[in-house]
Amino acid sequence: MRGLVMNKAKHRMLIVSNRLPVTIEDGSEGPVLAPSSGGLVTALRPLLRDCAGVWIGWTGTDRLPQVERLLDDYSRRSSFALKPVFMNAEERASFYSGFSNEVLWPLFHDLQSRCNFNPGYWDTHISINRRFAEKAAAEAQPSDLIWVHDYHLMSVATGLRKLGIGERLAYFHHIPFPGPDIFEKLPWREEILTALLDFDVVGFQTLRDRRNFVSCLRQFVKEAEITSLGDHLIIDEPGRRTVVGAFPIGIDFEEFAMGASHRDVAERAEQLARDLTGNRIVLGVDRLDYTKGIPERLAAFRLLIETHPDLHRKISLVQVVVPSREDIPEYGELKAQIQRSVSEINGHFGEPGWVPVHYIHRSLERPELLAYYRAADIALITPLKDGMNLVAKEYCASRVNNDGVLILSEFAGAAFQLHRGAILVNPYHTRAVAEAIRSATLMPPAEQRSRMRKLRARIRRENIYRWRDSFCQCDEIIAESAPREAAHVAIEVVACRKKPGNPA
């Protein structure tokens, strides 16, 4: 049986994720590279800066020679080589829009009524996961750590094992893992669970996700033996062993805090505050996704200004959304619903000189995003369910003066770490969210500072480098355990050591 020891040292990292950190867009003179959006890329990108390795992922396109050239140029300029996986339109519809985002995404966010369990989607999930596995096998060197990311690729290890890649396969699950009462609806539930057990290490965002995964194993993979060792669990099945842990993902705190401290960002933040005529600014920043609770948030803001006329002309909600998954009809419907709701609130309550809700529907450059974080008195982050939610952490890291208030959904993974400093809310409880905004507007500066310091200290400490190291240090737990067969193999992933700084 394969065994695994991970420890810090000098092995190359081979990252496999659905998306590359860049996506192809149409430029006026042909395809161009643009940064991909979403938390996975924000989190992993800093790890690549001073780290040699390979990143395998989808370009968002079908095979095009120009795209391969663009990626080769990019790879020559950076320490990380980008290796593309392509999909044609039919595969994209069935693998990405279909199985990934009409089955797994809603189900794993507890929204089972939105699922479309089309049997054809499963077949494409398997064939595209095999394609990623083949690409990884072709790129892998004997001592690499192959680190697969996120729900699209839960079956990649099975493909790799079939191709004879026997060592050092790790998986991190960026989104929530549902409990058995929800997971049981998945027609391919046993297949997904046993595919995950083909990895040597499986990481989740929170202890709740890990607990749900283990409960599902108990119910659907009866032969799995589960024992605990230290902070982790060991899952033994005949011929294989998997370490399972909770590893809450972080951000590069230093990068956000330093960026937000920049004079241009501070000036831009002041200008934004002036443009909003000195009103208290409540900020929402999200990918346009139904899991983010944007209509529910707008309803809470509407109730706030309806029930507190004293706040008229004194408060504005700035809602920034980055377009996402636009091929999927539900995302188009959500966009229309949000636009209707924003215009309804502004039409009903707005006055000359006061726009209650400002709506921005585009991707922002990092300095502009930081200026919004700095300008906002209150961040209103209310997903209905979220694996982690990095926006909450980015907002706090950017509050270099230690002021501001974070209102956070209790259903975001980040709530497990940030509950002491944030105001936690149930995003479905419209009145409670409205009152939380009201309390935030009244919070004295000393309390803001005390809470924000706690938040920032934790986000700074539990940053992205610590996340990587704790994930890659599963060696201790494996070394302490006694695999039934096979020798341990040392994995060393410190090629890219960067010390977390403390700029704030």
Return the active site residues.
174, 386
**Cα(174)–Cα(43) distance, rounded to whole angstroms?**
10
Rank residues 107 and 320 by Cβ distance to ligand ADP and give the closer one.
320
Tokens 């395809």 -> residue: 31
| Minimum separation from the CB atom of position 385 to ligand F6P (A) | 12
Binding segment for ligand ADP among 48-56, 254-262, 363-371, 420-428 (CB under 6 A)?
363-371
What's the first-to-final CA gap in the chain, in angstroms? 47
Q: Which of 18, 54, 49, 23 is nearest to 36 (CA)?
A: 23
Rank residues 88 and 502 by Cβ distance to ligand F6P and give the closer one.
88
Rg value, the chain, Cα: 23
Pick from 21, 39, 98, 421 the residue near ligand F6P by CB under 6 A: 39
Helix (H) or strand (E) holding 233: strand 232-237
Non-local (6+) Cβ contacts of 345 within 8 A are: 298, 301, 302, 305, 356, 357
Rank residues 2 and 174 by Cβ distance to ligand F6P and give the closer one.
174
For the chain, helix, strand, coil in percent to 5 are: 45, 20, 30
Contact between 61 and ligand F6P by CB under 6 A: the answer reads no
Rank residues 37 and 473 by Cβ distance to ligand ADP and give the closer one.
37
Helix/strand/coil (H/E/C) assignment for every residue in 181-229: HHHCCCCCHHHHHHHHCCCCEEEECCHHHHHHHHHHHHHHCCCCEEEEE
Binding segment for ligand ADP among 125-133, 218-226, 387-395, 486-494 (CB under 6 A)?
387-395
296 binds, among ligand F6P, ligand ADP, none (CB under 5 to 8 A by kind): none
| Minimum separation from the CB atom of position 41 to ligand F6P (A) | 5
Q: Residues 171, 203: contact at Cβ < 8 Å?
A: yes
Phi-psi region at 340: left, alpha or beta (left = phi > 0; alpha = psi -120 to 50): alpha
Contact between 38 and ligand ADP by CB under 6 A: the answer reads yes
168 binds, among ligand F6P, ligand ADP, none (CB under 5 to 8 A by kind): none
| Minimum separation from the CB atom of position 368 to ligand ADP (A) | 8
Contact between 174 and ligand F6P by CB under 6 A: the answer reads yes
| Minimum separation from the CB atom of position 176 to ligand ADP (A) | 11
Rank residues 152 and 241 by Cβ distance to ligand F6P and give the closer one.
152
Contact between 92 and ligand F6P by CB under 6 A: the answer reads no
Helix (H) or strand (E) holding 119: helix 119-139
Which residues contribute to the site for ligand ADP (CB under 6 A)?
A: 37-39, 42, 285, 287, 320, 322, 363-364, 369, 388-391, 394
Which residues contribute to the site for ligand F6P (CB under 6 A)?
A: 19, 37-41, 150, 174-175, 287, 324-325, 387
